[in-house]
Structure 1
Amino acid sequence: MKKKVLYTASTFGHLATFHQPYMRWFAEQGYEVHAAAGGEKKTLAGVSRLIELPFEKKMTAPANFRAAGILARLMREEGYALVSTHTALAAFFTRLALRRAGKSDTVMMNTSHGYLFDAETAGAKRWLLLGAERLCAPVTDYVLTMNRQDERIARQYHLGKAIVQTPGMGVDFSRFAPANAEQRSAARKAFGFSAEQVILVYPAEFSGRKNQRMLIEALPSLPENVGLLLPGRGELLEACVSLAAELGVSGRVVCPGFMSDVEMCYHAADLAVSASRIEGLPFNLMEAMHCALPVVASRIKGHEDLVIDGENGRLFPYNNKEAFVQAVCSLLSVQQRAAMGQAARRSVECYGLPTVYPKLIEIYGSALAGHSSQ
């Protein structure tokens, strides 16, 4: 009888975007791979069974506890050799389910794509989120972290039996290369930008955490030839469009919605920016950097692991519009952007899938070897 592996996440889309090479690897090793998540179902490489879960974004929503009940029954019935859980909400309820089901000899591996708190998080929220992680620590065999701050948090509070720092899940950089003159011209024309404009790009979900609002509010203080490209969707998209109109910068802000061909956005841009409050190891910045774009980003965990201030980009204090404007203005020179862009491209090569994949496979193999010896 085949041994089984379960992957969980808040959405099937997350699993499809980040984890298919690894699910395929488990299947190639002879494991039966199941995936449980919310959202629209996706075909996943190597996965033989998809289980729909009623996850909702609000942590305390009754539907999330129903999802934990479904997972607990699934774990009792299937007896998984390993459960690999991803995204903060799914990770909590997956581990809560394992507590209910009785851990047995299942290996629980929590890959933290970024704890939703840090040292700057307000007390009550921080202790609630940290408390949830500490509650789950006794059933967590491995915590895989992606940035130095999260590794320190996991070690300080003993959030798993083994804490392993990783370079993320690996980015497939095959689509993300510096634009040639023809690609740049075509991309700019598609978005309505002129050759003289300096374009800032920030592909992200429109949310309070991603903080597109600050970028729009800063735009009137930047030279008039600076434009802002904001691909993505989310609940704050319309509010951001309205804000641009109120500030009189609608002509300088383009919000094209979700784009599957996001590389076109990087080809149109001169700088990648991020105003985010908290991150794990953001794919959008790594993709942009591999396209030889320097970065202007908030000084937070995740960003600090990627951006060396003054070498491949600039860091500014979170939500500080004046510092953001100064950082962008310091990179208005084409020559300086070119030099920093090349440094940015070199610095993210270590996060590419060919480099990261064997490292994670070694971790998975070691965890499963330990399980088989029990």
Structure 2
Amino acid sequence: MPKILFTASTYSHIVQFHRPYLSAFRALGWTVDVACGGAPMEIPEAHRTIHLDFEKQMLSPRNGRALRQLRRTMRETAYDVVSCHTALASFFTRLAVNGGKQRPKVVCMVHGYLFGENNPAAKGLILQAAEKLVASRTDLLMTMNRWDTQYAAAHRLGKKMVEIPGVGLDPSRLPPISREEASALRRQWGIEETDTLLLYAAEFSGRKSQQVLLRALAQLPLQVKLALPGQGALLEECVALARSLGIEQRVIFPGQVARMAQWYGAADIAVSASRSEGLPFNIMEAMYYGLPVVASAVKGHTDLLVPDTCGLLYPYGDWQACAAQLQKLLQSPEERERMGRQGRQSVGVYCLDQVLPIIMAQYEALIPLRDETITHT
């Protein structure tokens, strides 16, 4: 049986984005292994799950141990394909691949380079150097937005490069929400019928920049509320900022939410303040539920949101411009409805039934997926 190894920094990444692809390879008769770090989670589609001791700090000794474990795993199991995801795991996975002729084909999916645009320059130089170091071991590089595609092509970061429409939004995980369900959630959190609810579901990290939205909210009418589902290192800092701005009664911190569908159903406008993205699911999900979007004008967002069509953009970090764009939508319910409708119509090309065949075709172009006698090259 042909064999493939998927790697990522966290179990949650594989669970959230790649289970349909594990299933697709299994259906074709492949042995499917997964190697990842973080909090362990069940991945029933994998034949075997290998825990790696990854840590977000690139030079952590734990990553050295993960590198050695990856090398040992690849040496013991002759994989035909290695598919790597997330910046940290992708680097160490490709570093672990034997550089000789007898090695697996290596596929790297870029979920958003963490350099360029508004990202810190010093960190960016390190990450750029890391990508160049392992470019020769990247047989297929899949990017998700124009900026990443152009950068990868200019710096030859893969032997073959292709832009894909994300990993596929799965409508089966996004059930319709009735008015009754949406109203019940709003009542539970003290949101009046006359309130306008903004929604931004994201990890509380420097890259996600929730502080921008809090400062923008302070400039908006009292009837505007903001929901910030998620956990992360900067959660308490954001809670303190909301308090210092005098808007703590208008901000909802519900923590980690397992079922986001209810929140999309309850919200009026989706917002984002992210510093950079690949092709963000939270924006696509909002579009799927017919919400207009106000987001920072960064890669990923600019690919999904055609200005004045299904959303409005503002310069990253500019909370005054963010507030001004939100004010436009607050003053025009008709415009909100039009943008929501446009978003719902345009998101179809990013849905799983459209995207999965595109991505599997890229694997097929690299190596026969249905050939039981695959030879390493």
> TM-score by structure 1 length?
0.96
* DSSP 3-state at the match of 2:218: helix
Displacement, 1:246?
1.2
Preserved contact between residue 177 and residue 290 of structure 1 (Cα < 8 Å): no
Return the alpha-carbon distance in structure 1 between the equivalents of residues 247 and 102 of structure 2. 59
1:139 equivalenced with 2:137 (yes/no): yes
Q: List alignment gaps of at least 5 residues for structure 2.
A: none
Equivalent of 2:327 in 303, 326, 329: 329
Which string of whole-angstrom CA distances, capped at 9 and with x for unpartnered residues, describes residues 262-299 of structure 1?
11111111110000001001101100110000100000
Preserved contact between residue 97 and residue 137 of structure 2 (Cα < 8 Å): yes
Return the alpha-carbon distance in structure 2 between the equivalents of residues 158 and 81 of structure 1. 23
1:44 equivalenced with 2:72 (yes/no): no
Which string of whole-angstrom CA distances, capped at 9 and with x for unpartnered residues, describes residues 230-289 of structure 1?
000011111111111111101100000001111111111111000000100110110011
Which string of whole-angstrom CA distances, capped at 9 and with x for unpartnered residues, describes residues 181-201 of structure 1?
323312211222001111110
Tell me the amino acid that sits aligned with residue 242 of structure 1: A
Preserved contact between residue 179 and residue 291 of structure 1 (Cα < 8 Å): no
Return the alpha-carbon distance in structure 2 between the equivalents of residues 308 and 178 of structure 1. 25
Preserved contact between residue 294 and residue 322 of structure 2 (Cα < 8 Å): yes
Displacement, 1:28?
1.7
Equivalent of 2:102 in 93, 98, 104: 104
Tell me the amino acid that sits aligned with residue 111 of structure 1: M
Displacement, 1:365?
2.0
Preserved contact between residue 177 and residue 261 of structure 2 (Cα < 8 Å): no
Equivalent of 2:227 in 211, 226, 229: 229
1:285 equivalenced with 2:283 (yes/no): yes
Match of 2:353 in 1: 354
Alignment of 1:153-172 (within 5 A): 153-172=151-170
1:210 equivalenced with 2:213 (yes/no): no
Which string of whole-angstrom CA distances, capped at 9 and with x for unpartnered residues, describes residues 291-315 of structure 1?
0001000000000011111110100
Greater relative CO (CA pairs within 8 A, separation 6+): 2
Q: List alignment gaps of at least 5 residues for structure 1.
A: none
Displacement, 1:27?
1.4
Return the alpha-carbon distance in structure 1 between the equivalents of residues 176 and 321 of structure 2. 28
| Change beyond 3 A, Cα 1:10–1:183 | same
Return the alpha-carbon distance in structure 2 between the equivalents of residues 54 and 186 of structure 1. 42
Match of 1:74 in 2: 73
Displacement, 1:180?
4.1
Which string of whole-angstrom CA distances, capped at 9 and with x for unpartnered residues, describes residues 170-220 of structure 1?
011234366543233122112220011111100000011100011112211
Preserved contact between residue 178 and residue 292 of structure 1 (Cα < 8 Å): no
Return the alpha-carbon distance in structure 2 between the equivalents of residues 329 and 343 of structure 1. 20
